[in-house]
A = this chain, B = another copy of it.
Amino acid sequence: MNPLKAAQDAAIAAAREARARYRDGLLAPSAGVAPGMTQANLIALPRDWAYDFLLYAQRNPQACPVLDVTDAGSYATPLAEGADLRTDLPLYRVWRDGVLAEEVADGRAAWAEHADLVTFLIGCSFTFETGLLEAGIEIRHITDGCNVPMYRTNRACRPAGRLHGEMVVSMRPIPAERVAEAATITARYPAVHGAPVHIGEPARLGIADLARPDFGDAVRVEPGEIPVFWGCGVTPQAAVMASKVPFAITHAPGHMFITDVPDRTYHV
């Protein structure tokens, strides 16, 4: 068997095994799991809200790049044959009237509340981290074994129908001499947030203190490093809160859906 085919088969097997373990109850962030396989943010909404959300995503593609949308009532996706979106993520959040109501490891009871849920899978910046690592650019939150820091910003997304809210960003500290490379590498992954939305000057995004992220974990910013900000797939959760959406299910930040699609698929 050729070594490339063997590596691909091993990567898909790792993705399937991870989904099976989450299905069986494993509760852990997905960063670094099944390396090289695309991870996705998830949001499920009643069919009545699906158009507003799809339009919101279209109008804010750096924050909400759509990888797949299920039919109403379906929890299957061609991005991972045989996966069940209700059970195969490590942790879900259930939202009621824009407020986080509960976190659950098994989404089936929540899915059963609405027969017509449409599930959106949104690109995740973990996908382009493979490209950054291959270029020898350190990813601090991987080095330190924690979740990526995420921040709410003062940047309003373009509204759509009943949906409005601010953009959420993820942050990676990058040495000043590698920032241009980090921008150009990630720009070639537009389906998973693409180029940075902001480089340096966190105060201009309304971020008062990098050490206090709104989601995920704080990371060290060393002397000579610039905080670089990318659109983040937690942005839909900010819209759910700001718009008081009656019902939604999302992944818990950092607890993503692992697909069978290699990261390089989204490189243009």
Contacts and interface: CB of A to CB of B under 8 A. Distances in A.
Task: Please state the number of chain copies in the assembly.
Answer: 2
Contact of A66 (B58, B69, B187, B268): B58
Contacts of A187: 268
Interface in A43-71: 50-51, 54-55, 58-59, 66, 69
Interface stretch (A25-33, A89-97, A188-196): A188-196
A268 B69 contact: no
Interface residues of A, number: 15
Contacts of A66: 58
A268 B194 contact: yes
Contact of A51 (B54, B188, B194, B195): B54
A55 B72 CA distance: 12
Contacts of A55: 54, 69
- Which 9 pairs between the two chains have the least Cβ-Cβ distance? A51-B51, A54-B54, A190-B268, A187-B268, A58-B66, A55-B69, A190-B190, A58-B69, A268-B268
